[in-house]
Structure 1
Amino acid sequence: MAPPRVCVTGGGGYIASWLVKLLLSRGYAVHATLRDPSDQKNAHLMQLDGAAESLSLFKADVLDRAALAAAVEGCQGVFHVASPVPADKTVDPESEIMVPAVKGTLNILEVCSSVKVQKVVVVSSTAAVHSNPNWPQGKPKDESCWSDRKICMEKEAWYNLAKTVAEETAWEYAEKNELNVVTLCPCIVFGPQLQPVVNTTSELLIYVLKGGPNVLNDTPLQIVDVRDVADALLLIYEKPESSGRYICAPNYISTKALLELLKKMYPDYNYVKW
């Protein structure tokens, strides 16, 4: 019997790499989309256990529907993980963040409809949840809470805006076209890297280690382990009853407490004094 076949977009990324690893370990055949499969930053994928037999790499940008269609062909399920995560000051938020996030999501959903994919799991973010000043004070934010587009624009929180609009677009499309879509909203994702380049949230961790201003401000952080995010994505995919959106934000810590924790675990690191 042929193994179940799924596609993971942005397969070389931080979360996606762990998801690909997990899927291969569970006997899935995986199609991973990459902007450039020959780039050395993606070399770790073919070194994963089971990759030689069960992993196929596809050159595909989220804005190229034909390339996406080739990658999704023959797959029962799709994990849409690819999304721009801006690290520095954004020069052109529309082309750098909004278009790839929103149009990219729409493209993959249209492809999934056309080839009759059974289930699509879209990675959103708590960035699409927490920017809501109208939410009742003291009430924990849940899956019914959405970030306010206007507030995101006013604050120039482009990542929050992109994630909110992309997820709302996904739900509108799913409803209109009767596509089985489920979304996961993880918070700040920490944990070991499989890929050789530093990802944006790990840069945040380095910033804290180096004594960035947020440490002094003692900013509260909602954090989740990258391996737990991969587990959550597969759980959502495999459970027939999963539906709607799911927040994945199990841990809460302040930047100072995080630094103290790291000092206990790695006492020999050259920490900045503050």
Structure 2
Amino acid sequence: MDQAGAGEATAVAAAVCVTGAGGFIASWLVERLLARGDYAVHGTVRDPSDPKNDHLRTLDGAGERLRLFKADVLDYASVASAVAGCAGVFHVASPCPAAKSTNPEVELLAPAVAGTLNVLRACREAGVRRVVVVSSVRAIFINPNPPEGPTMDEHCWSDEEYCRATESWYCLSKTLAEREAWAYAEKTGLDVVTVCPPLVFGPLLQPTVNTSSLFLIRYLKCDGVDAMDDGVRNMVDVRDVADALMLAYKSPEAAGRYICSAHARKVSEMVSVVRSLHPNLNYPNEFVQLVGDEKVFSSEKLQRLGWKFRMLEETMKDSVESYMSAGILS
């Protein structure tokens, strides 16, 4: 276990644990928690000495209130060590392979479900007050018989058999993991809240590029590709997701699932915003309109907690400037 900062400072702040602390969403959540000044953060990472986690140590307050734990969600003992002494836990870690999985049962489904159950069991044993689980809208909309109308809310669930039939393995992993979380909460009485974001963009804190960011980057580095699809995509800023997770944890009235989606726009609209700021990137020559019902996710329930989100233009601008600073775009 690595300890960033001496232990005495953490004794005066409420401790919370963030699993997968070095990831895209989790890094911003750690930043938000430390910025408040009244939280000590236990962050789980696979290897605290790995340079890819160094960005966490540079965050304001990290020297006094951040401890990095070597932990794997499939290893219960390591999870329990990180969760011990925490009032709250944010379970953000989730397997998400960059390429198509060759063994989804091993690479995605088992880790997602077993990892979530390990975290929840450790939380119950440690007397954690509330667990906030990051799920996904992919646990909501993959269904051959969706509800009437374009808008989907927290009552909607992806169909597990349909996910298997269409080989939507990541969607299935998020669906199974969230279902298991709710089953465990009902059985034990553990206070669980889930947050379901769509595509997540925004500036990078971590040195690696996450899957959602890669989705946007491929439209900005086409390298001679003539046409790309122009479907409607639901998206949200990573900083707004971090704020939503904080709200889900701090609000006494928070309960159940929360969709965390800000905008539903065609890809061409997103790209047009970036083009107005950076006209010389390698954009697609044209977009091909996709045919089909486009779903929009309602975040009304989350907004009733006081959640607010950024304008699309701010998210696109900050995302691209971050990619340029990291040398991903030029």
TM-score by length of 2: 0.80
Distance in 1 between the 2:226 and 2:17 partners? 37
2:136 aligns with 125
1:243 aligned to 2:255? yes
Distance 1:215 1:41, change over 3 A: farther
2:149 aligns with 138
SS at match of 2:22: coil
CA offset digits 1:8-59 (Å, max 9, x no partner): 0000000000000000001210000001111111110000000000000000
CA offset digits 1:110-149 (Å, max 9, x no partner): 0001111000000000000011222222152110000000
1:20 aligned to 2:30? yes
- 1:151-166 maps to which residues of 2 (within 5 A)? 151-166=162-177
Q: What is the percentage of aligned positions where both structures have the same residue?
A: 55
2:309 aligns with none
Between 1:135-144 and 1:248-257, the stretch displaced more is 135-144
SS at match of 1:216: strand
- 1:55-204 maps to which residues of 2 (within 5 A)? 55-138=66-149, 140-204=151-215
Shift of 1:216: 2.7
CA offset digits 1:47-98 (Å, max 9, x no partner): 0000000000000000010000110010000000000112211111011111
1:48 to 40, 59, 76: 59
How many residues are paired up? 274
- Deviating beyond 4 angstroms after TM superposition, the runs of 4 or more aligned structure 1 residues are 212-215
1:3 aligns with 13
SS at match of 1:183: strand
Distance 1:128 1:214, change over 3 A: farther
Unaligned 5+ runs, structure 2: 1-10, 287-330
SS at match of 2:152: coil
Between 1:212-221 and 1:79-88, the stretch displaced more is 212-221
Shift of 1:209: 1.6
Distance 1:184 1:215, change over 3 A: farther
Shift of 1:188: 0.4
1:263 aligned to 2:275? yes
- 1:191-230 maps to which residues of 2 (within 5 A)? 191-211=202-222, 216-230=228-242
Answer yes or no: is the 8 Å Cα contact 2:221–2:281 preserved in 1: no
Distance in 2 between the 1:270 and 1:133 partners? 36
Distance 1:68 1:250, change over 3 A: same
Letter in 2 for 1:37: P
Letter in 1 for 2:218: Y
Distance in 1 between the 2:55 and 2:107 partners? 26
CA offset digits 1:189-221 (Å, max 9, x no partner): 000000001111111111122349896321111
Letter in 2 for 1:3: A
Answer yes or no: is the 8 Å Cα contact 1:182–1:242 preserved in 2: yes
Answer yes or no: is the 8 Å Cα contact 1:208–1:215 preserved in 2: no
Distance in 2 between the 1:46 and 1:76 partners? 22
Unaligned 5+ runs, structure 1: none
Distance in 2 between the 1:215 and 1:43 partners? 39
SS at match of 1:79: strand
CA RMSD in angstroms comes to: 1.5
Distance in 1 between the 2:216 and 2:228 partners? 14
Between 1:163-172 and 1:217-226, the stretch displaced more is 217-226
